[in-house]
Every structure is written in structure tokens, then in C-alpha cells.
A and B are shown apart, each in its own frame.
Chain A
Amino acid sequence: MSLEGRVALVTGGSRGIGRAISEALAAEGAAVAVNYRATKSGAVEVVKGITDAGGKAVAVPGDVAEYADAETMIKQTVDELGGLHILVNNAGISRDALIFNMEPNDWLDVMRVNFGGVFNCTKAALNHFMGERDGVIINVSSVMGERGWVGESNYAASKGAINSFTRCSAVELARFGVRVNAVLPGFAPTELVAGLIDKDGGKGILRQIPMRCFAQVEEVANTVVFLAGPGATYMTGALLTVDGGASTVLGVGAPL
């Protein structure tokens, strides 16, 4: 197991992609702090699954949009699991709407959780990571941060901010022994994007993805495990797309 002896904190780790990441890190031997804000039962279930399988995990409450919460989450992880080596900034929300109809709080809420969460948790972890000269940060972004989609201006902007922040933190933290990378999932069928596939079961989207299938959350989690582990020791500042080729094509890649 490649992550034996490592401790990870996964924000928003109780469901969707975050849950898959928590479970995949644990399967590689990492002790995992599963952060949740609203769904305690989900986090407890993930923790139980990991411990039942012989792993080590704890549920850590906290709202990543609040800096004080981020500090508490980091402290609780270090106190209860004996360290921190891997921070996965995964927590995210969406408030899809056309810009014309969007309320000011729709962009602010999304920005505070998605980008604010990355900033808060990164900053809160730095004293520990830099003191140890050992740390890996993986930001779960989105291909939306590099491209555009109707109704997702606020979400895409927040992910674009995460991508820029990933590059800058990689540059600043490299000399302190801390690597920072991002994964950019395409379409993974989680609650977060349920609205997108409501219309026709997602057929209209599938036709635009070269691989003709949605991402399984485990496929995103596998990339996070890779970035967290010994196979990626020279990687920092990378934005890895995990999107079945969705962001690679020009238009739909062929005449309609």
C-alpha cells in the first residue's frame, strides 16, 4: 500500500467524489479525516466503512468557508490521527443560474465555499506542512475552470480561481517541501451535477464526451491517490484533467 503511515484530510469527504477519495486513500493505507458540514451521518458511514475494513478514520465537522473552522479541522486531524501529510480540498457547491437571473449571493456563496475553502484549508495547514517540510495538497477543481458552460459562470469562476491558486501555491511552497496539484474532473454523476443530467439522462452531454461515458467517482479518486503518493514526487503545479477527453475536443469534434 502506497500511503501507509500517511494521514489525509478530505474536505467534503462524506459524499460524492470526496467520499470516493476518502475510501481510496484509506484503501492505500492512509489514515483519513473525513470532513463534513451538513451530512454527519454520511461521514460516520464512510468512517465506519474504512474502520470495518481495517483502516483508520475519523469524522471531522467544519465549514471550509470559515477560516476558524479550517484551523479546527487541521488541529483535530493532527490531534486524533497523529499528523497530517495529505490535504484534499474537495468541498464544493454549485448554484447554477443564468447570469441574467443570478442573485449576487449566488456567486458569493459559491466562491466562499469553493475557492474560500481551498484558501482557508491551505493556509491553515501551512504551519504544520512547512514545519515538517512534508506535505501534499490536492485541489479538486473542474474542467469548468478552464472552459465555459451555460449556467455555470459562478461555479466556473470559482474553479478557475482554484486553478490559479494551485499554480501560485505550488510556486510558493515548493521550497518548503510541499507539493500542490489539482485534478479537474469532467462530468461525474454526483448530486452536485444532478441538474445537468436531469433533462435526458445526460445523453446530450455524453455525445460531447469522446469516451462516451461519465467519470466514475473512483476514477477521479484514483488520480488523487496517484498525486498524493510516491509516484508523483516531482509533480507540482499540475492541473490534471480527468474528463474522458471532454475538454480536449473543439466543439464536438465532428460535424453535428
Chain B
Amino acid sequence: MSTTDVHKAVQEAVVGALGVSEDEASPDATLMDDLGAESIDLLDILFRIERSTGVKIAASDLGDYIQGGIPDDRFSDDNGIISAEGLEHLKTVMPQLDEGASLEAEHVIQHFTVQNLGDMVAQRAAAGAGA
């Protein structure tokens, strides 16, 4: 499956699960803030993606992917604001985020876009194909 196909499949999953139009499920739309996805919607999206792409992602994987394996105490400071190290990692998985932004770790997932999810699935698909 090509990267383009993966992104198409992710968009279709978002459209199908949330009942939004393809225009609304644009690459830069955030799943939670813009499209209003809740936990059951995310689950639906992930099961649809598994069905169409064969890539299995658990809802809990999303947070792990965003945080990139950086321990909590290094990902954010005592006030819950994402650290420089955290921001450095976020550039790779959520490149649309403003550099130097003051982001709360707890809320960063709300900025996760359709494009970000597509990238994640494509990465998993490539890793799976290579394994």
C-alpha cells in the first residue's frame, strides 16, 4: 500500500466514522478540536483503518506515538508545559505545531490532525512491511 493510499484510507475512515465530508476531513483538520472526535469515534476510526490497511493501532498508541517514548518528567515541566526536548520530538510527528509554542502535554493530542494520523499509519505500515 502506497503512502498516498494510506492517507486516502485514513481520510475515508475519518469520514466514515465521524459522518463529516471529505472537505471537512482535510489533512490539516484536527481530529478532536475541529472534527469533534471523542473516544468512541477514535476507536471507530482506528478499527476502520485496521480493516482497510491491516495496520492495527490501539487508542493508547496515539499518546505513545506523540510522546515518542520520552518519559513524562522529561516530556513536560512541573506545570505540565512541554519541554524543549518534547517540542524537538513533536516536530517529527506533528510538524505543524508552532516552534516555541507553550503547549500543555495533556492537551497536545487535541492538535493531532488527519495528516498526523496518516503519517503514523504510513510509518506503521512501512515498519510492518519491512518486518
Chain A interface residues (CB < 8 Å from chain B) = 130-131, 133, 172, 175-176
Which residues from chain A contact B50 at a C-beta distance below 8 Å? 131
- A133 to B, closest residue via Cβ: B51
Contacts of B43 in A (CB 8 A): 130
B-chain residues with CB within 8 Å of residue A131 when the two chains form the complex = 47, 50-51
Number of A-B contacts (CB under 8 A): 13
Q: In the assembled complex, which residues on chain B have CB atoms less than 8 Å from the CB atom of A172?
A: 40
Residue of A nearest to B17 (CB): A175
The residues of B that contact A130 with a CB separation of less than 8 Å are 43, 47
**B-side contacts of A175, CB under 8 Å:** 17, 40, 44
Interface residues of A, dominant DSSP: helix
Within the complex, the shortest CB–CB distance from B47 to chain A, in Å, comes to 5
- Near A by CB (< 8 A), chain B positions 24-52 give 40, 43-44, 47, 50-51
13 contacts between A and B (CB under 8 A): A130-B43, A130-B47, A131-B47, A131-B50, A131-B51, A133-B47, A133-B51, A172-B40, A175-B17, A175-B40, A175-B44, A176-B44, A176-B47
What 5 pairs across the A-B complex have the smallest Cβ distances? Answer: A130-B47, A175-B44, A131-B50, A131-B47, A176-B47
Question: CA–CA, A242 to B51, complex, Å?
Answer: 37
Given A131-B50, A175-B40, 10 new contacts (CB under 8 A): A130-B43, A130-B47, A131-B47, A131-B51, A133-B47, A133-B51, A172-B40, A175-B17, A175-B44, A176-B47
